[in-house]
Structure 1
């Protein structure tokens, strides 16, 4: 019985560690790629939710930030930094929906044959959370003009 408890506890701790992200981490690690975090560009922002999964060989990490903690100007600063300093490009035109504005950036991964995509969902209402989804997996970039 003690062994079962220890294994169960170990599994729970492992799951918590995978689902956690530091609001002061300089980088987001996604497979072999390291993406500068929003903290490294505009400062600490409160993370209220994390999700990490691997599906169809694509690793996805989603960070949800406290409503109102990231301004539109700060989001623009972060996107500009990724484009100018990290060589990310727009891979989709911005899309408006009832949830807010979605923007996607991408670039070739350090792993051959893979790409890194970053989706930004900026909410329509300030009372809603900003979500940033980092993905890495097989693919090629098709850029919009």
Structure 2
């Protein structure tokens, strides 16, 4: 477990937190993208997590990666709730149709197209879930986070 604790000097503490945040940025972006289905919204959620990290006292944080994942998940939940309250258009209105080919699936291009189609289908299915259920699904099934860790979020 990584204990953040107190770091000597304000600049040293900021540098330490910035380095830890950058180490986790890819994971945080992946969680946010799978929750939101939009790369730009995922980036917004990750940036919001950075702002919250800078404004928070992290001296008692034992697991910074877990703390950041929780923050991003909560930011995504808020964004999803806001999206549904504003009655924004559903994701499927913005997702391009998958390309269907008659290939037997043995060539890499077909496998790539098929993987993209499955990914798009998953995003459409996730769009139908309420925000809390989407969070639980994404964290558990895509990132192997135990349900006991998800429940407090």
Give the structure-2-normalised TM-score. 0.30
Higher strand proportion (structure 1 or 2)? 1
**Taking CA–CA contacts closer than 8 Å with sequence separation of 6 or more, which of the two structures ends up with the larger relative contact order?**
2
Look at both structures and tell me which one has the larger radius of gyration over its CA atoms: 2
Give the structure-1-normalised TM-score. 0.31
Higher helix proportion (structure 1 or 2)? 2
